[in-house]
Amino acid sequence: MILKSLILRNFRSYAAENFSFHERINLIYGDNAQGKTNLLEAIHLLLMQKPFKQVRFGELVSFGSTECRIKGEVESEAGLDEVHVHLRGEKKTITLNGKIVYRTSRIVGRYNVVSFLPSDIELVKGSPQGRRRYLDALICSLEPAHLRDLKLYHRSLLQRNAVLAKASGLTPGMLEVWDEKLAETGSLVVSRRLRYIEKILPHLRRIYRLTSGDDADVGIHYRSSAALTDDLAEGFRKELAARFEKDRRRGHTTFGPHRDLVGFTIRGNDASLFASQGESKNLALALKSSEIDLVRDLLGKTPVLLLDDVTSELDERRKGFLFSLLDEFSGQIFITSTTLGEIRLRGEMRVFHIRAGRAEQRHVRQ
């Protein structure tokens, strides 16, 4: 998959800019706060239908404007696609090859992107909610049906919570229909999470040893609020029934995949509590690198890589690993830096010097 071109109109710091990309290396440099990260975010939004972080769409529109547009040409196994994202207020409209995409689930997974960000360390040290969100987003990119089941689960959860919050004289029978829907969709969500943890874990362990230089065992633990039996749906039904009084008193659902805990371990210890800064960086780098292998193994595709100023966060050993990975990587790369000399990549590339939301573009070989 190759992103051939990009047109931005009123997106963040870009009033009007056109980009033509190299099929492999695209180096984006410039001082801080000039728009380098904004360019990567536009690419991520175009290909993955969402920005890097959870932000309001209105924040992506340039100050003083009411709407923004992103248009790109993507070459994939299916041929040449023209993708258009239009943001107005909090409304997002996606057009694929001239036709409006009314359901995001129909385009999710069409393109694959792996992003390396300075904030990746929060996947290790941050909140369980952030790790759940990361795991679900990864699964959605590999198995789009997960997005459908997540939406169905959260829709049913909102309905059940509404009944719990408002109903007087509540009885278990009044929740029966929502309990059944939560059991059905919740069990699918949890089973996929467990399955994909098993798939990524061997890659994570192997790459962590390469980045850290030691044989410390790393793991991913998933703690569900229900027993992880062979019949997950039945376990959900029983747990929801057992928690009826507790949920009634509190006015919301206290059990389900929206409350499950995902975490990492190093030498059997909880990494969010006990990992050093260096161990956390190793683990985050290994985790994101593992995504590349997962996309290749499960989909037979090569993802687009987005790397935002990650070299500033890495020591020499980790930089060596990262650039070795990039040298061997056959797909398209977008990497930002404040200086050209920091990027140890060789060969033909497209270089973009970003200043105040404008890009000077040139083709070089180094």
Over residues 43-80, the pLDDT tens digits come to: 999 999 999 888 889 999 999 999 999 999 999 887 99
Residues 211 and 309 in one domain: no
The model's confidence at residue 129, banded by pLDDT at 50, 70 and 90, is very high
Convert the pLDDT of each residue in 181-228 to its tens digit: 999 999 999 999 999 999 999 999 999 999 888 888 999 999 987 777
The boundaries of the domain holding residue 21 are 1-112+301-366
Better pLDDT: 157 or 346: 157
Q: What is the 3-state secondary structure (H, E, C) of 182-250?
A: HHHHHHHHHHHHHHHHHHHHHHHHHHHHHHHCCCCCEEEEEECCCCCCCCHHHHHHHHHHHCHHHHHHH
Given a cut of 80, whether residue 230 has pLDDT beyond it is no
- Of 254, 277, 300, the residue at which a domain comes to its end is 300
Structural domain count, the chain: 2
Residues 69 and 208 in one domain: no
Convert the pLDDT of each residue in 20-40 to its tens digit: 999 999 999 999 999 999 999
Convert the pLDDT of each residue in 152-168 to its tens digit: 999 999 999 999 998 78
User: Is 117 in contact with 123 (CB distance < 8 Å)?
Assistant: no
Better pLDDT: 166 or 331: 331
The model's confidence at residue 365, banded by pLDDT at 50, 70 and 90, is confident
| pLDDT attached to residue 226 | 73
Report the CATH number that the domain containing residue 217 is assigned in CATH: 1.20.1050.90
Q: What is the pTM of this model?
A: 0.94
| pLDDT attached to residue 136 | 96
Distance of CA 181 to the CA centre of its chain: 26
**Taking residues 3-16, what's their average pLDDT?**
97
Residues 312 and 254 in one domain: no
